[in-house]
Structure 1
Amino acid sequence: MFEQGEYIVYGSTGVCKVEKVTTMDMDGVPGDKLYYILRPYHKEDREIFTPVDNKKTKMRKLLSSNEIKSYLNEFNELEDFEITKEKFREDNYKQCVRGCDFREILRLVKSLLKRKRSRFLSGKNFPSTDERYLKIAENILFSEISYVLKLSKNEVEDFFRTNMKEMATT
């Protein structure tokens, strides 16, 4: 169980602060069932109420700064995110972002950025589904990197832009 005041990663929302662990006083809700009240990092005007024992949306502790740096150092060597079948592309994206696995989401971002660049260079549009999941995946990654490494979101975005340019020249 997470503690009040702790920062966690919550599903496709990204980094959230555990504002409170409490019961809910509502009809149809057992009085002893515990809930987290979460406040998304960078969107402090929102609140999320989720059961402590939520099995549908994954929650995890933040990675350490060393873990994040290790993943970022291997960014250019990461293998592409694999799409099993083209018709299941969106399902693969959805499963990845909901899975809350930093490395897999990093692979997805890398692959989508490469795909976007490739399509641009060949004069093709970037599909809206790809764009939507790129934004979701970037939000998850960038919020965790930004919070843990004490960087602004702009600094994190610059890192990815720089690394994508390096990949394009190799």
Structure 2
Amino acid sequence: MYNVDDVVMYGTFGICKITAVEKRNFTGEEQEYFVLRHVNSDKNVFYVPTDNEAALSKLHSVCSKSDVDALISHMNSEKLIWIDNDAKRKEEYSRIIKEADYHEIIMLIKTLYLRRKELGAAGKKLRSSDENYLNLAENMLFEEFAYALDIERREVVDYIEKHIA
């Protein structure tokens, strides 16, 4: 369970701080909600029911610097997860984004980055749906890494490249 002042990753929405636990009546019935505020924007406020497993499954504690370094150290050994069938690929990549497992997100980014590079060498482009999954995955991972490392998001790729080399 989470507490006020905990910092969490909330699905694809990013890093949020739990600022309160409040009872609200959004659905005709009063329920208890975690009030989440995005750490980079006071305008983004989310209400997550404290008793809704599906909603709570989108929350996880932010990883630490040592977690980030461990994930980076294993990036080169992560396998690729390219699926030729468009529908099956979309289904699998959607599942990966939803479940937000670090290793799977890294595999997704690595796969699509290398696929984009391969297609680019042949004068082709990645499909727009694949490009969207790549952007979502990068945004999720890089925002969390930036927070854990206390660096700007734009510095994350350099940090990764420096530590992989």
TM-score, normalised with respect to structure 1: 0.84
Letter of the 2:64 partner, please give it.
S
**Contact 2:36–2:47 (CA under 8 A) maintained in structure 1:** yes
Q: Distance in 2 between matches of 1:136 and 1:47?
A: 20
Q: Distance in 2 between matches of 1:25 and 1:107?
A: 41
Residue of structure 2 aligned with 1:46, choices 44, 47, 50: 44
Q: Distance in 1 between matches of 2:157 and 2:3?
A: 30
Could you list the per-position Cα deviations for residues 84-130 of structure 1 after superposition, in whole angstroms to 9, with x for gaps in the alignment?
A: 84322111111101102111111111111111111111111211101
For 1:18-167, list aligned pairs within 5 A.
18-26=18-26, 28-29=28-29, 31=30, 33-57=31-55, 58-83=58-83, 85-159=85-159, 162=161
For 2:3, the equivalent position in structure 1 comes to 3
Q: Distance in 2 between matches of 1:122 and 1:159?
A: 29
Q: CA deviation at 1:75?
A: 1.0
Identical aligned residues as a percent: 28
Q: Distance in 1 between matches of 2:94 and 2:122?
A: 27
Q: Distance in 1 between matches of 2:88 and 2:63?
A: 30
Letter of the 1:94 partner, please give it.
S
Letter of the 2:153 partner, please give it.
K
Q: Distance in 1 between matches of 2:27 and 2:87?
A: 42
Structure 1 residue runs without a partner (length 5+)? none
Structure 1 residues 54 and 135: CA distance shift in structure 2, 3 A:
farther
TM-align CA RMSD: 2.2
Residues paired across the two proteins, number: 162
For 1:15, the equivalent position in structure 2 comes to 15
**Contact 1:59–1:100 (CA under 8 A) maintained in structure 2:** no
Q: CA deviation at 1:27?
A: 5.2
Q: Distance in 1 between matches of 2:24 and 2:145?
A: 32
Q: CA deviation at 1:83?
A: 3.2
Q: Distance in 2 between matches of 1:92 and 1:77?
A: 20
Structure 1 residues 122 and 27: CA distance shift in structure 2, 3 A:
closer
Could you list the per-position Cα deviations for residues 11-60 of structure 1 after superposition, in whole angstroms to 9, with x for gaps in the alignment?
A: 2223211122111134512x2x2211212233432111121233334211
